[in-house]
Structure 1
Amino acid sequence: INTAPKEVLLALDESMSQVLVDEIDSKRRSEAFKKVDDLHNVIGMDADLLFRIQDYLCVKSQTFSVDVTVLSTPGRIKLHSVVSRESGAIKVLRWEIR
């Protein structure tokens, strides 16, 4: 929940609206969700919808995407990577220059 792109949240169920996804995003930016059940506190989330999507959600992740933009003369370089965190060690799973 805390790191999923809005597009992923929107695709979880036909009843997920952009307004609800924006509300989830707003809440998680102010404070990370500690448990999936915390979604009950999001305006627009009802018990039936949460029941349908709860098996697809978690609040902890070991895999993250990292996007870095370096600005310098004469231009800009963008790097996109996917990393995994296991036992405190970071492992790069994939990277590309865009």
Structure 2
Amino acid sequence: MNYSVTTKEFMLLAAKGPVEVLDLRDPDFVDSFDLLEGSHVTRIPLTQLPNRLSQLDKGKTYYLFTQFGGRSKTMAQFLRNEGFQVANVIGGTSAYEEYLAS
């Protein structure tokens, strides 16, 4: 599995069917995050993630988002080491919003 995807690649995947998103932003920075219909967003602040792994399903692939994508890249490696299937979305929600605006 590719461990990082661009926003465009993510959008193409989401257009094919529902995706599992893991939003790692702190609650103070979370705004609306609209995805294509049927996709699911799980919100777990990055600082709480190591203690909340039981809320995730190792049988699913999660696409990780932070504001700019840097911290989610680091957390993607942590989650892979814990046996989860994950991909970092390069550029995070900033790139996603910019893509939607274009």
**What is the TM-score of this pair, normalised by structure 1?**
0.25
More strand by share: 1
Compare CA radii of gyration and give the structure with the larger one: 1
More helix by share: 2
